[in-house]
């Protein structure tokens, strides 16, 4: 077995890992879709169902598709991901804020 194959399997990138991630992603997509289409919940509960399944689906994608592990060995990858996510959130949030304030200033 080559070094590349060994590294790929050590990070959990086997076919079964992808299948589990895919099945969980489909289930986590169907749940909010079903909740909206059937109207089984009131608005607040529906919103909570959508947000919870979205957060769980993000974790599923991070674990099964991006192979981000939160163990001591994966600390560097985890910190790099968190830093990148914070930078992206800051850029998007600050851009929206700047655009909003610019629109307000132009109106007066």
Give the domain ranges of the chain: 1-67, 70-108
21-77: pLDDT as tens digits: 999 999 999 999 999 999 989 999 999 999 999 999 999 998 899 888 878 888 888
CB 87 within 8 A of CB 78: no
Predicted TM-score (pTM) of the model is 0.68
| Alpha carbons 48 and 56: distance in angstroms, whole number | 12
Closest CA relative to residue 59, chosen from 51, 47, 71, 68 = 68
74-106: pLDDT as tens digits: 888 888 888 999 999 999 999 999 999 999 888
């Amino acid at each position: 077995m080559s070094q590349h194959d060994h590294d790929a399997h050590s990070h959990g990138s086997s076919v079964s890992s992808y299948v589990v991630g895919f099945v969980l992603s489909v289930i986590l997509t169907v749940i909010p879709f079903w909740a909206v289409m059937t109207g089984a919940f009131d608005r607040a509960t529906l919103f909570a169902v959508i947000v919870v399944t979205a957060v769980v689906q993000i974790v599923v994608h991070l674990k099964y598709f991006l192979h981000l592990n939160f163990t001591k060995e994966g600390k560097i990858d985890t910190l790099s991901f968190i830093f990148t996510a914070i930078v992206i959130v800051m850029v998007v949030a600050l851009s929206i804020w700047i655009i909003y304030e610019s629109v307000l200033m132009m109106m007066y």
